[in-house]
A = this chain, B = another copy of it.
């Protein structure tokens, strides 16, 4: 009975962000495929012990990112096709990359290792 998503009360990360990240990861990894339905707001909120608005925010941000599509009465589903990379997204990706490189270097990794760790995941 592994729940789709879990919220860690000891993690200071805001619950809406925990949910958002986990769903984004599930989609990125393919565990949630295009067209798959995500739990209704009230159901997921009830399961996690969160307010409806909190889960709604996670869905809303994922929809803004092009990962989910919501329809009143129709539920929320994973988007069929991924959006093209816009300029905004490009700069955001650069920021994520810079953060990763900085943190990996801080752990003592040399640049070769830093690059390989990513390439290994990209095939």
Residue among A65, A89, A107, A123 with most chain B CB within 10 A: A107
Is A25 in contact with B107, judged by CB distance below 8 angstroms?
yes
Is A93 in contact with B114, judged by CB distance below 8 angstroms?
yes
Q: State the copy count for this chain.
A: 2
| Chain B: CB-nearest residue to A17 | B12
- Taking the closest CB of chain B, its distance from the CB of A8, in whole angstroms, is 5
> Is A36's beta carbon under 8 Å from chain B?
no
- Chain A, interface size category, equals 35 or more
Is A121 in contact with B98, judged by CB distance below 8 angstroms?
yes
Chain B positions within 8 Å of A6 at CB level: 99, 102-103, 106
A106's partner among B25, B84, B98 (CB-CB below 8 A) is B25
A118's partner among B2, B10, B13, B100 (CB-CB below 8 A) is B100
Chain B positions within 8 Å of A93 at CB level: 104, 107, 109, 113-114, 117
Cα distance, A113 to B82, chains bound together (Å): 14
